[in-house]
Amino acid sequence: MIHNNEPQTLDQTKLFPRSRRPGAWRLRAGERIWLLLTGDTLAAVLAMVAALYVWAQEDWLDFSFEFIKVRPQTWFYLLPIVWLVLLVELYDIHRAHRRSEIVKGVAIAVLVSLGLYMLIYFTNPDPNSLPRRGVAVFIAGAGVLTLGWRMIYIAVFTAPQFMRRVLIIGAGKSGTTLAQVIKGTWPPPFYLVGLIDDDPQKQGKEVFGYPVLGGVECMLEVIQKENVSDLIFAISGEMRGETFQAVLDAREQGIDVTTMPVIYEELLNRVPIFLLQSDWILRSFIDQARTNGFYEIAKRIMDIAIGCAGMLVMVLVAPFVCLAIALDSGFPIFFRQYRLGRRGQLYRIIKFRTMVQNSESDGYVRTTQENDDRITRIGKFLRKSHLDELPQLINVLVGDMSLVGPRAERAELVDHLQSRIPFYRARLLVKPGITGWAQVNFGYAASVEDSAIKLEYDLYYIKHRNLLLDLVILAKTFRPVIGMRGQ
C-alpha cells in the first residue's frame, strides 16, 4: 500500500477553470472614461455631419463633397473639440453616473456654446457670413445626442453585471481607510464583497458595513464563491509568505491585483499621504522626473503663449479695475508678497489688491477664509471673476510661476504645515501655478486637515502631470470664471 505523505494543496484548476477570466468584461474606471470620451466624440461628430447637411441644403441645395471642401471654414470642424472641452467636468467618473449631473453639465455646455457664438456673431464685421443655422443645428444636435448617449451609458454600464467585484486584503488602517472611502462614494465605483485579514479578532466583524470574511487561508474560496474580479492589497506592514503565495495564485488565474494607494488615487484623484512610506517621494517623483523633459518645454511654451494673450486682456481691463479699487478702498492698487517657488526659492507675487489695507496688522499670518471679512466689496467681485489673478501673468512670463501648479504659499505657512503634514514640502518640486488640481477640486483650506487634503490633490498632480491634465485643469478653471464662482 502506497501512502502519500506530501502536504495537501488546493486544486487551483477546480477553483478557477482555465477558460474563465474573472471580470474580463467588467469595466475599470479608466476604461469607463475612455468609453465616455468615445461616445461623446461620436455624438459630436454626428452633430457636425447633421449641421453640415442642413447648412448645405440652405446654401447649396445639395450636400456634396464640393460643399464640404469649399464652404465651411476650418474653425467649423473644430466645434466637436470645443464641445468635448465644455464637457470636461463630466469625465469625473462619479458625476458620469448621476443623471442630474449629466443633465446639468450638458445644459451648461449648450448655454456656454450659445453664449460664445453670440459673442462672435455680434462682434463680427460681417455676421451674415456666419453659418447661423449650421451652428444652431450642431449645438442642438450635440446636446441631444450627448444626453441620449449618457443616459444609455448610465442605464447599461452601471448595471450590477458591469460592476467589478472587489475583495480587500487587509483590514488595518489602510484597508479601513479604503473601505470608508468606498462607503462614502455614490454611486459606488464597484461592488465591495468584503475584506480578508489574518487577525482572528477582526474576522467575523464589519468595517464600515463590509464583512471581514476570514483569513488568507480561505481567500481563494471567497474569490470563487463571490465571483471576485479584483483584489486590492491594503497591507502596509510586512507581508507573510502565505499571503504572497495566495495573491500569486489568484493572479495566475486572471484575478486583477491592485494596491490600495492606486485605488485611492483612482477614486479621489488624490494620494493618501498619511498611508505612504517614506521613500514614496523617491519612487513617485524623482524616478519619473527624468522622462518629462519634453513636457517641461511644451509647458513653458504654453505658459508664454497663454500668458501673452492674458496680458492683452489685462491691458484692457486694468484701467477699470484700478479705478474701482482706488474708489472702493484707496491705494495701493496692487498686492505684493513673497512666496515660495520651485525648490523653495523666494519670489514676489503680484495681484490686484482684494483685501483691506494692513489686513495682517496684528502680525499674525493666516490663510484666507470663506466669507473673510477682510475682503473689500470690489475684492469680492475680483475674486469671483478671477480678475485679481491677472497680474500674476507677469510672474508666469518671468518664469517664477506656471499657469498650472500648486498654489504658492508663504514661507511662514509652509514652515508651519510641514511639521504637521507629511510630504508637505514636496509641493516645491514644481513651479507654483495660478490655478491647479487642488484649486479646481477643493475650496479654501481653513484648517490643517483641509491643507492635508489640498496637499493630496497637489501631489496627485505632481505625480501625474502632463499636458492633457494641464489642459483639463485650465478648462475646469474656465467654467468657474464664466459662472463667477471664484473664491
Structural domain boundaries in the chain: 29-157, 164-268, 293-356+371-482
For the residues 414-441, what does the mean pLDDT come to?
92
Q: Which of 81-85, 162-166, 309-313 has the lowest mean pLDDT?
A: 162-166
pLDDT tens, residue by residue, 210-223: 999 999 999 999 99
The model's pTM is 0.79
Residue 380 belongs to what H/E stretch?
helix 377-385
The residue ranking higher by pLDDT, 195 or 63, is: 195
Q: What is the average pLDDT value for the chain, to the nearest integer?
A: 85
Answer yes or no: is pLDDT of 437 > 90: yes
CATH number for the region 164-268 comes to 3.40.50.720
In this prediction, residue 45 carries a pLDDT of: 95
Closest CA to 72 of 56, 57, 50: 56
Give the pLDDT band (50/70/90) at residue 10: very low
Task: Supply the pLDDT for residue 187.
Answer: 78
The span from the CA of 135 to the CA of 117, in Å, is 8
How would residue 14 be classed by pLDDT, with cut points 50, 70 and 90?
A: very low
Answer whether residue 301 shows pLDDT above 90.
Answer: yes
Confidence of residue 2 (pLDDT cuts 50, 70, 90): very low
**For position 25, what pLDDT does the model report?**
58
Q: Is 150 exposed, middle or buried (0-12, 13-18, 19+ CB in 10 A)?
A: buried
What type of residue sits at position 478? Answer: F
Handedness of CA 389, 391, 397, 399 (dihedral sign): negative
> CA torsion angle for 439, 442, 446, 447 (degrees, to 10)?
-110
Chain segment 233-278, per-residue pLDDT in tens: 998 777 788 888 999 999 888 888 999 998 999 889 999 998 887 7
